Amino acid sequence: MTVYAIIGGSGLTRLEGLDIRQSLAVDTPYGAPSAEVQIGEYAGKEVLFLARHGHPHRIPPHRVNYRANLWALKQAGAEAILAVNAVGGIHPAMVTGHFCVPHQLIDYTSGREHTCFADNLEQVTHIDFSNPYSEPLRQQLIAALAAEGVGYSGQGVYACTQGPRLETAAEIARLERDGCDIVGMTGMPEAALARELELDYACLALVVNPAAGKSAAVISMAEIEQALRDGMGKVTSTLARVLKG
């Protein structure tokens, strides 16, 4: 039976309903993870949970210790990662409250520690990252969203930007020309590190705002926070369906 781990993003620093049996402070070669790894029962299954930005939400996207987070989950016994991400919508279908299970990504970040294959190697190591997400895990998320009856897209290209600032309208126009459908700040190097550690990985993205230039309105953090509050119940019920199989 697959051991799932959930990485909670903005709006999901705690997994309501998780019957926590143990909280692990995992020592990693890369320092401390964002938070303790919580192990418990959720939707009738054993699950691991880690808050990407810490609890409370305090670590900005460019300061998250992604290597420590993924290493800690692997050490705690995770085999598959369900990553929850809050994103901006670029494609017209990606309206606030819409879900996307991306099938591709483009990395626009810089300066992040992005690989475990850096030091003291016996040989140079490369991974095949042609398809960055686990297709079986993506299909499980898609089936769960369909069963929930929510608006979703079963594919999309995730643009990962550096943050913590939001993008300019010109930058979003560039991302759109590049073929990106949604934009966030935490999709990389998380996905690549999961591949290096041989962990299945898929992303459940919740659109919380139109990207810059996609609406006449000013992007409001209050509106983003409201969209997170409105969407988290659907996020957790979707995750529960995946775990129940």
Q: For every one of its 245 residues, what pLDDT tens digit does the chain have, with 9 covering 90 and above?
A: 789 999 998 888 888 888 989 999 989 999 999 999 999 999 999 999 999 999 888 999 999 999 999 999 999 999 999 999 999 999 999 999 999 999 999 999 999 999 987 777 677 788 899 999 999 999 999 999 999 999 999 999 999 999 999 999 999 999 999 999 999 999 999 999 999 999 999 999 999 999 999 998 888 889 999 999 999 999 999 999 999 88
* Three-state DSSP string of the chain: CCCEEEEECCCCCCCCCCEEEEEECCCECCECCCCCEEEEEECCEEEEEEECCCCCCCCCHHHCCHHHHHHHHHHCCCCEEEEEEEEEECCCCCCCCCEECCCEEEECCCCCCCCCCCCCCCCCCCCCCCCCCCHHHHHHHHHHHHHHCCCEECCCEEEECCCCCCCCHHHHHHHHHCCCCEEECCCCCHHHHHHHCCCEEEEEEEEEEECCCCCCCCCCHHHHHHHHHHHHHHHHHHHHHHHHC
Q: 4-116+128-244 has which fold?
A: Rossmann fold (3.40.50)
| 34 annotated binding-site participant | no
| 217 annotated binding-site participant | no
pLDDT in tens, 189-204: 999 999 999 999 999 9
pLDDT in tens, 52-90: 999 888 999 999 999 999 999 999 999 999 999 999 999
Domain ranges in the chain?
A: 4-116+128-244
| 23 annotated binding-site participant | no
- The pTM assigned to this predicted structure is 0.94
| 211 annotated binding-site participant | yes
| 52 annotated binding-site participant | yes
| 209 annotated binding-site participant | yes
pLDDT in tens, 167-178: 999 999 999 999
| 69 annotated binding-site participant | no
| 53 annotated binding-site participant | yes
